[in-house]
Homo-oligomer: A and B are copies of this chain.
Amino acid sequence: MSNPESFRELCRNELHSGPTSGLLSGYVQANLLILPQSAAESFEDLCFRNPVACPLLCKTNDSPYRLENHDRYIKNGHFDIRRDFPKYNIYHGGELIEQKNNCVDEWAEGHVGFLIGCSFSFEYALAQAGLAPKNVVQGSNVSMFVTTKYLDTSGIFHRCPYVVSMRPYKVNDIEQVRQITRLFKKTHGEPIDWGFDGAQRLGIRDLKQPEYGDPIDIAENEIPVFWACGVTPQLAVATVGQSIDGAVVGHTPGHMLVLDTTQVS
């Protein structure tokens, strides 16, 4: 696992099927969504209109082996979007029906794979600045909440809420945390809101009961800080899934593709 290419080879050969948090630090990790042609155009527009919640890195170029701007993300060697993630979630009609180590059977002519930026990138940068998120320090999953803020509608994707991740910080650290994560334009960038009033604006009712991930304690001298979260696109697919014909594939949360680039802007 000395480099992203050999790590992807392990995944491809189904020798690694676990989470990727903390692995190959500094390299960009990507979320996945594979959609049938009919939904792909709406989804690409959704990303264009909502770049903070759905930061599209690139999509496949008529083949599971090639990405648009391929060389920017995969330097050389083999690539197969159907096998290079550690684990895949298979959806039908918006419902999760299976988890598999590859999605070769689900990929069909006309399917489009989308790679979406992941906040693991900025967690590493925060840690390097002495501002490691509590979930990283505790080795737990980040807290994630479904909000009452909706994505700007695009085609079939209507009434799809933002999912946010929450990391507690001291008020005095907020400006530095904002500055560090602001640079990560393709992986959600700076927080979209913060504070207990921010939680209220986002329609979050109980900070102790996240919809995804683990509960994280907020100390008395801390406030919650909210970033747009890569779970948003998968919840969008679940929300409108009944209007999508055919299989939809996502990565299993936490089980990302590791790219050859460290570039995040």
Contacts and interface: CB of A to CB of B under 8 A. Distances in A.
A193 interface: yes
A86 B51 CA distance: 33
B189 A49 contact: yes
Contacts of A159: 193, 201
B49 A48 contact: no
Main SS at interface, chain A:
loop
A155 B179 CA distance: 8
Contacts of A131: none
A148 B148 CA distance: 10
Q: Which size bracket describes the interface of A in this complex?
A: 20 to 34
Interface string A42-60: 0001001111110000000
Contacts of A9: none
A149 interface: yes
Interface of A: 45, 48-53, 148-150, 152-155, 158-159, 182, 185, 189-193, 201, 228
Given A52-B152, A155-B190, A159-B201, 16 more contacts: A45-B182, A48-B185, A50-B52, A51-B51, A53-B152, A149-B149, A149-B150, A150-B193, A150-B201, A152-B192, A152-B228, A153-B190, A153-B193, A154-B189, A155-B182, A159-B193
Contact of A51 (B49, B185, B190, B191): B49
Contacts of A152: 52-53, 192, 228
Contact of A49 (B52, B153, B155, B158): B52
Contacts of A192: 150, 152-153
A16 to B, nearest CB: 34
13 contacts: A45-B182, A49-B51, A51-B51, A52-B152, A148-B201, A152-B192, A152-B228, A153-B191, A153-B192, A154-B182, A154-B189, A155-B190, A159-B201
